[in-house]
């Protein structure tokens, strides 16, 4: 891929990229575990699984118990977790500082925006609605929309198809090795959010830019889009 190609489309992951969802997910999981007489798990120990799916996070919490949890009980607790999370904790997650300002700037520059996540559609839209971000996105691809989840390229390819974009003009913003592998498989450049949930920053390579907060990424994108606009204006004169 050519790192100098213009960026026409930006696609975002959700958990650990746009939203800090680990605290609310861990709280929901621990409420259910403790009520069942099991051990609460420190959120940082659940961090690696969150990039896979919400279900994977809870299953990780079950595996981290000192004694094995019977399959029937595990199934009941998983359902209880999903219900508790949806009814009480889902809406408590917050978008990272500066995400709204970045999306506003990208929209003002005519950049198409999409979502590609291993989270289900309903909870994704709930998060976006609560943070008043839904209207920024032309396309939302969630768990089950493609044949395979990330790190397979299928979900990102689906997002690009729905956006009418080519890989050469797309930037995918993610925070995990799963996102990095998905971007590479799809032939798309990656912007790595270092403030997310990656177990190791090296898991995010290769990337064209890495940022710890959205103010930093905002500056990088503003410079890129400004240069693109200038080049296009010069070309048409």
List active site positions: 13
The first and second tokens of residue 65, run together, are 């118990």
Distance CA 220, CA 210 (A): 10
* Full DSSP string of 32-73: HHHHTT-----HHHHHHHHTT-HHHHHHHHHHTSSSPPPHHH
Residue 164 CA neighbour count, 13 Å, CB half = 3
Q: How far apart are the first and last CA of the chain?
A: 29
Q: Which residues of 188-199 are buried (b: 16+ CB within 10 A; e: fewer)?
A: bbbbbbebbbbe
Q: Output the CA angle 74-78-79, nearest 5 degrees.
A: 125
């Amino acid at each position: 891929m050519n790192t100098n190609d213009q960026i026409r489309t930006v696609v975002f992951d959700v958990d650990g990229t746009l939203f800090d969802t680990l605290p609310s997910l861990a709280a929901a999981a621990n409420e259910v575990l403790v009520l069942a007489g099991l051990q609460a798990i420190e959120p940082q120990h659940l961090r690696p699984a969150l990039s896979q799916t919400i279900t994977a996070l809870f299953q990780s919490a079950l595996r981290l118990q000192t004694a094995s949890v019977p399959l029937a009980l595990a199934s009941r607790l998983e359902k209880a977790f999903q219900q508790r999370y949806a009814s009480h904790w889902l809406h408590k997650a917050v978008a990272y500082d500066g995400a709204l300002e970045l999306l506003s700037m990208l929209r003002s520059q005519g950049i198409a925006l999409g979502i590609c996540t291993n989270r289900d559609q309903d909870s994704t839209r709930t998060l976006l609605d609560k943070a008043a971000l839904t209207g920024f996105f032309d396309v939302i691809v969630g768990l089950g929309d493609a044949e395979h989840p990330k790190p397979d390229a299928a979900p990102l390819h689906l997002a690009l198809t729905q956006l009418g974009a080519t890989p050469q003009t797309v930037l995918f913003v993610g925070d995990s090795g799963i996102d990095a592998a998905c971007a590479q498989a799809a032939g798309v450049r990656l912007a790595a959010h270092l403030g997310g949930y990656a177990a190791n920053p090296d898991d995010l390579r290769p990337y064209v830019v890495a940022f710890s907060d959205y103010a930093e990424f905002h500056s990088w994108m503003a410079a890129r889009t400004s240069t693109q606009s200038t080049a296009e204006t010069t070309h048409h004169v």
